[in-house]
Amino acid sequence: MEFSLIEAITRRTAQAREDVVLGVGDDAALLDVPAGQQLAAAVDTLVEGVHFPKGTAPADIGYKALAVNLSDLAAMGAMPAWSLLALTLPAPDADFVEGFAQGFAQAAAPYRMALVGGDTTSGPLCVSVTVHGLVPQGAALRRDGARQGDVVMVTGTLGDAAGGLACLDRSHPRAAALMEAPEALRAALLTRLNRPEPRVAAGLQLREVATACIDVSDGLLADLAHITAASGVGAHIDAAALPLSSALLTLFPEQATALALGGGDDYELCFTVPADAAAQVSADLARLGCGATRIGRIVAGEGVRAFDAEGQDVTPPRRGWEHFGA
């Protein structure tokens, strides 16, 4: 049964690449790294009930499992190339595997990303994906290059995925109202939760100009803090400048800013650029369809602080996702 599951996934995700010397079917894959390129590697694990709600459609799980890893490559300015998949299932389930593989393949197809190996095993539903990307020697985006005077920017909109999760939370204080909200608004937020769009093209565009970059997975404040810590600087965020979708503002008028600052799961890129490059970066990323908004600046000191229009500190209930609690 294990090999039939692997075969089903491989069939759905097949991609012909000249740099795959030996793919699925042996003890390990053999891959050619082109001359002048560095290999960027990342791994993420998604657990049912932690990283995606129980009852999530198999195709959405498959898509998100790869998309969150593609987002890591985007944050490094790397072009996706190969992936490895470890899938843990409570029991053999051909229908689940078929749906999962469909979603996984949909996320891989735009980049001709090849699945080159993996494993299946029995246990609570869990997905681990390892991805490899290629970036020219010395051109990778990193977290440690932000400098005082740089501006902080972010692609897309923030808080939507956290809003989508709240729409599914029956214990939410506004659960009844959210259930009765227009379906189009709920669907917009749930799509951001279940089908995040990795900003690969934006990452490639930023290779020549961004001084630091990270993807927003745990929450803006938490993830930007990784940049400031690595770079030895601080950051001030203008909460009024945060890019918020109409769906989020309509369904969560009082919570939108807090969700954008600490909600997480958006998989947008947060990056820093010299101040005189911000306008051009915004125009370039607008042409790519994701846009970029200037939301703050890098300052001397440490840590990340957010301020409202009156200059008062904004402190959301949470600054981001804690993997092992507070």
State yes or no: pLDDT of 171 exceeds 90: no
Domain boundary among 109, 136, 163: 136
Number of domains in the chain: 2
State yes or no: pLDDT of 305 exceeds 60: yes
39 with 88, same domain: the answer is yes
State yes or no: pLDDT of 183 exceeds 80: yes
181 with 114, same domain: the answer is no
Q: What is the pLDDT of residue 322?
A: 57
**With bands split at pLDDT 50, 70 and 90, how would you rate the model's confidence at 173?**
confident
**With bands split at pLDDT 50, 70 and 90, how would you rate the model's confidence at 71?**
very high
State yes or no: pLDDT of 125 exceeds 70: yes
Domain boundary among 136, 163, 190: 136
Helix (H) or strand (E) holding 229, with range, is: helix 220-231
| pLDDT average, residue stretch 270-293 | 97
46 with 101, same domain: the answer is yes
Does residue 38 lie within any of the structural domains? yes
Does residue 109 lie within any of the structural domains? yes
Does residue 162 lie within any of the structural domains? yes
Domain boundary among 112, 136, 160: 136
Rg of the Cα trace of the chain? 20
Give the pairing of strands 212-215 and 126-136: unpaired
Q: Check which CATH number belongs to the domain holding 30 and give it.
A: 3.30.1330.10
Q: Over 58-82, what HEC string results?
A: HHHHHHHHHHHHHHHHHHHCCEEEE
163 with 231, same domain: the answer is yes
20 with 98, same domain: the answer is yes
Q: What is the pLDDT of residue 324?
A: 42
164 with 108, same domain: the answer is no
39 with 161, same domain: the answer is no
Backbone phi, then psi, for 223, in 5-degree steps? -75, -40
Q: Check which CATH number belongs to the domain holding 218 and give it.
A: 3.90.650.10
81 with 160, same domain: the answer is no
Backbone phi, then psi, for 279, in 5-degree steps? -65, -40
Q: What is the pTM of this model?
A: 0.92
Does residue 245 lie within any of the structural domains? yes
Q: pLDDT digits over 30-70, tens only? A: 999 999 999 999 999 999 988 888 889 999 999 999 999 99
119 with 158, same domain: the answer is no
- Non-local (6+) Cβ contacts of 17 within 8 A are 81, 82, 112, 114
Q: pLDDT digits over 209-264, tens only? A: 999 999 999 999 999 999 999 999 999 999 999 999 999 999 999 999 999 999 98
Q: What is the pLDDT of residue 83?
A: 94
Adjacency order of strands within the sheet including 292-299? 212-215, 269-273, 151-155, 292-299, 234-238, 303-307
Q: What CA–CA distance (Å, rounded) separates 63 from 100?
A: 7
**With bands split at pLDDT 50, 70 and 90, how would you rate the model's confidence at 174?**
confident
Between 134 and 175, whose confidence is greater?
134
60 with 167, same domain: the answer is no
Q: What CA–CA distance (Å, rounded) separates 103 from 195?
A: 9
Q: What CA–CA distance (Å, rounded) separates 168 from 144?
A: 37
| pLDDT average, residue stretch 300-326 | 79
Residue 144's SS3 state is coil
The number of beta carbons lying within 10 Å of the beta carbon of residue 75 is 33
Backbone phi, then psi, for 117, in 5-degree steps? 170, 170
Tokens linked to 139: 């051109």
Residue 34's SS3 state is coil
State the helix-helix crossing angle for 183-194 and 160-168, rounded to 10 degrees. Answer: 110
Q: Say which DSSP state 217 is in.
A: S
Q: Determine the distance from the C-alpha atom of residue 230 to the mean position of all C-alpha atoms in its chain, rounded to a whole number.
A: 20
Give the end-to-end CA distance of the chain in Å, rounded to a whole number: 41
**Closest to 247 measured CA to CA, from 165, 125, 163:** 163
160 with 298, same domain: the answer is yes
User: Distance of CA 65 to CAs 107, 164, 196, Å?
Assistant: 9, 17, 10
Domain housing 68: 2-136
219 with 156, same domain: the answer is yes
| pLDDT average, residue stretch 257-275 | 96
**With bands split at pLDDT 50, 70 and 90, how would you rate the model's confidence at 89?**
very high
Does residue 313 lie within any of the structural domains? no
Does residue 101 lie within any of the structural domains? yes
Does residue 312 lie within any of the structural domains? no
Does residue 87 lie within any of the structural domains? yes
Location of structure tokens 């820093």: 272
Q: What CA–CA distance (Å, rounded) separates 83 from 4?
A: 19
